[in-house]
Structure 1
Amino acid sequence: MPIFEYETHLPFSREDVFDWYARPGALVRLHPPFAGRVIEEPSNGLQDGSESVLGINMPSLFGTTLAGLMDMAGSASSLPMRGYTKWRSRHTNFKPGHGFSDEMISGPAKSWRHDRSFEDDGAGMVLREKVTYELPLVDKLPAAAKKLVARQFEAELNRIFAYRARQSSDDLAFHQSHGRLASQQGQDSHHVPEAAPIKVVAVSGASGLIGRQICALLGGAGIEVRRMVRGGSVSSAAKPGEITWDPEAGTLDPESLRDVDAVIHLAGHPLASRFTEEHKQKVLDSRVEGTSLIATTLAHLEEADQRGRVLISSSAIGYYGATPADRALRSAILTEDSPAGTDFLAEVCKKWEESTAPAKEAGVRVGIVRTGIVQTPAGGALSQLLPLYTVGAGGPLGDKEWQSWISIDDIASLFVHLALNPHAEGPVNGVGPEPVTAKQYSKTLAAVMRRPSAIPVPAFGPKLVLGEQGAKEIVGADQQVTSVKAQSLGYAFRHHTLQEALEHVLGS
């Protein structure tokens, strides 16, 4: 049977790396967004018998694009459509601190066994991985065709394993900077950063694009995560690790948050839809009602028991207005001190942020992340552009309009960083250090995908989907937003340039 081998050298101790692999969320952090999704995390960590389920895309950008198209079609039609194949695996050969394996139970391969060995390597460690596999139907092909299939398949494996190596290194460095590695948490308090007291974090919107990555990062930091899920009443039976709430009904049991150190609040009605009056009202109400409920609940808890609780709430760079015409001050660069704009999304963001006031007044540390254009093929703007670029029909959505982007890993990490940093308060722009123009974005994406970018997207396209107002405020936005405050608070960006971000999330 064919064997694929890969080595990853990491400047961390073997014990710390193995412990990180064993923590909740590791699989979510390691599985590339271009390769599919995690449907079920391991049922019992790395222990023998623990099972997980992945959704595996077809290889190459065509597979990534197909999965995205099926997701969009399913959302639009409410039909169970998917562009991936389920892959169920089971952990075996668990050796604490040294290795584990997983074997495919069901999936697209004929057989698959993945062995991992964690070994000391000077001041760091080396992870040696060996995959023994068989592909279906390949044995019936001519010898030349077999070699071609094997070469293409292992090129895809190299693409996936290279992503995992970068992700491992970046996540471990992030946790090390916050004193969250296993070896650091075993030291006395004089060696651990002042953020260490945070042990339990509740997350609303935990199943969303950003929320899943935030929960995984928190798990990797050794923090207990409690997911806030919508239920019919506060008395509804919640699963272990879940908090039931209903923002529309205004129900949230204060006891469910009593021992929570921080809340990361992301929940809100999806923005990307036609801007009808009904849709706009849902967008506004869901953000204001949910935020007010959490902020008020935390305020009452903090007034009764001053523990230094934390609320990190989501917002968006729509706060500043979509274009210079939607701003009272037409300064080129937008900072956290810039006033709110005058259009619909600016009004939403302003009221959204104001809804955190009860928590702040009660002594809760409140941080607000004004999120930019998140880059991931798993959803959002990039996933909607991929089909056009994949077939060579991509092009710019504008010309000189500024687009303030951020990678999925940086926005998730920034939320967690602000939760752990005791000096982080007030609004913080969740954007990368180097915004680009619409034309630059198109050229960069095309170069990363090795495709042309000569065909401008016609203006009527976004209007058909979002309506005239939605197209103007989302697709036609012109916002040059600075990330200086995030950096001044000690956040170290993983992806400084758009090219770095796209190459990582697309595995190019």
Structure 2
Amino acid sequence: MSLIYSSVVDAPLDEVFAWHERPGAIHRLTPPWHPMSVVREASTLDGGRAVLGFPLGLRWGAKHSGYAPPHRFVDELDSAPLRWALKWRHSHEFRAEGDGTRMTDRVDTQVPGALLRSTFAYRHRQVAADLAAQRAARLAGDRPRTIALTGAGGLVGRALGPFLTTAGHRVVRLVRGQVNGPGERRWDPDRPAPDLLAGVDAVVHLAGASIAGRFTDSHRAAIRSSRIGPTRALADLASAAGVEVFVSASAIGFYGPDRGDEELTEESERGDGFLADVVADWEAASKADGVRVVTVRTGLVQSPAGGTLRIFHPLFAAGLGGKLGDGHVWQSWIGIDDLVDVYHRALYDTALSGPVNAVAPEAVRNSEYTEVLAHVLHRPALLPVPSFAPKVLLGDQGARELAQASQLVRPAVLTKAGHVFRYPRLDPALRHLLGR
């Protein structure tokens, strides 16, 4: 036996086991720092088979067996060539303990347990935190709905979609390419089909071209055209279809690239610059008559699977990290799972309407961010990035509005609503996301 990992989750036995059976569970259990991805979920834990993808085209097939709800199921590696060299039998065990559930993972493999412990610690934290958030939502009025989701393949969508399905919602992915199965619908952003939102209760709109890159004329055009027109068309359709709520992505770029030490809340005036103009028009395009609309002004999303942390993580892990210039700029950040909770709350909390700042309560200076990241990774942060370096990569405007942007943003609306963040502080957030 290579590893036994056990913890108690504050949720009833049947609820914990049912969570593992719902679509999306394997996505929520996959650590974001791992190089693997979910290629296919198992259709059932009773004889179903999941497939994970690794670099170089390797596939990990896991056949489920030993199904004994709500106490046990097993998965075993069954795909060549990995099974010829590696043994893997993973028993998932559950039993009631007090008012909660003891989850125990028993893994029989040649892989040293020390290499697996951080993965299973992450999985247990994730199950406990997701179940707590979903339970709090039900107590506040959340109920199963059909939710249309754009941008399901992006950083936020890959986390939000599985969270919603494990919470009992039905997610319909609006895709621009080929439709694969009943869980997807073909979406033309410029001319969405009149029946696109038939039977849909809520819409979460995440799609839009990445803002990262050099601010050329074509890049600026792509940022703008991928947001304004498609958002307006989808919002109009949501109004016509009578959906309950339309939740649209937005950004703290609304406040402009540099407001000094001014504390920015949802009541603050918009700032200057290209991104501020785009965000203002983007939010205006999301207005839908007769529909509750929430625009999620998102800060710097923390996840090693994407965003800035995907770049910084390997650099700092190699001891090549450091602050940007003098490190004085403010960074208003949010962990990916806290952002998922904000979107979830926007769906069920009828008191939320209009802009909502999706940032952690404690913004940090860039110097503090780099110090914390280096400390989490047990590495020095001795190589500051020269202030001219972002201009070389992004141009003057891109550097000013992205790399050098300084925004001290507060989640005033969420604070007033009594919202509980999983990771309000940077150090524990990064430790969770990086398996440290």
Q: TM-score, normalised by structure 1?
A: 0.82
Of residues 90, 93, 104, the one that matches 1:114 is: 90
Q: Which residue number corresponds to residue 8 of structure 2?
A: 9
Is 1:270 the counterpart of 2:217? The answer is: no
* Cα shift at 1:30: 1.0
CA gap of 1:418–1:301, structure 2 versus 1, over 3 A, is same
Rg: which structure is higher? Answer: 1
**Displacement, 1:319?**
0.5
In the TM superposition, residue 39 of structure 1 has moved relative to its aligned partner by 2.4
Which of 286, 293, 296 in structure 1 is aligned with 2:233? 293
Match of 2:73 in 1: 100
Aligned-pair CA distance for 1:331: 6.5
- 2:157–2:206 CA contact under 8 A, matched in 1: yes
- CA distance in 2 between counterparts of 1:254 and 1:173 reads 38
- Is 1:221 the equivalent of 2:167? yes
| Aligned-partner Cα distance in 2 for 1:252–1:43 | 32
In the alignment, is residue 245 of structure 1 matched against residue 187 of structure 2? yes
Contact 2:27 2:38 in 1 (8 A): no
Aligned structure 1 segments of 4 or more residues deviating by more than 4 angstroms: 82-85
CA distance in 2, matches of 1:289, 1:334: 28
Q: Are 2:348 and 1:447 aligned?
A: no
Contact 2:213/2:219 (<8 A) preserved: yes
Counterpart secondary structure, 1:158: helix
Conserved 8 A contact 1:28-1:41: no
Distance between the aligned counterparts of 1:215 and 1:445, measured in 2? 28
Q: Aligned pair count?
A: 432
**What is the CA distance between 1:460 and its match in structure 2?**
3.6
Q: Deviation per CA, 1:401-433, whole angstroms, max 9, x where unpaired? A: 100000011111211111111111000001001
Whether 1:482 aligns to 2:388 is no
Residue aligned with 1:40, SS: strand
1:112-134 per-residue CA deviation (whole Å, 9 max, x = no partner) reads 00011111112211112211113
- Offset at residue 99 of structure 1 (A): 1.0
Equivalent position of 2:292 in the other structure: 365
Cα distance per residue 1:205-225 (max 9 Å; x no partner): 001111011101100110000
Q: C-alpha separation between the residues in 2 aligned to 1:416 and 1:375?
A: 18
Unaligned stretches of 5+ residues in structure 2: none
Check whether the contact 1:195–1:422 (CA below 8 A) recurs between aligned residues. no
Partner of 2:145: 199
- Structure 2 counterpart of 1:24: 23
SS in 1 for 2:181: coil
Match of 1:388 among 315, 321, 332: 315
Matched position secondary structure for 1:252: coil
Partner Cα distance (1:83, 1:173) in 2 = 37
Conserved? CA contact 1:24–1:216, under 8 Å:
yes
How far, CA to CA, are the matches of 1:498 and 1:342 in structure 2?
Answer: 28
Instruction: Output the CA distance in 2 between the equivalents of 1:482 and 1:237.
Output: 40
- Equivalent-residue separation in structure 2 for 1:47 and 1:266 (angstroms): 34
* Aligned counterparts of 1:503 and 1:83: Cα–Cα separation in 2: 28
| CA pair 241-45 structure 1, distance change in 2 beyond 3 A | same
RMSD: 1.7
Alignment of 1:401-440 (within 5 A): 401-440=329-368
TM-score w.r.t. length of structure 2? 0.95
Provide the rounded CA distance (Å) in 1 between the counterparts of 2:394 and 2:353: 34
Question: What amino acid does structure 2 have at the position aligned with 1:338?
Answer: S
Aligned to 2:258: 323
Equivalent residue number for residue 333 of structure 1: 263
Match of 2:122 in 1: 163
Q: Find the counterpart in structure 2 of residue 70 from structure 1.
A: none
The whole-number CA distance in structure 1 between the counterparts of 2:68 and 2:393 is 52
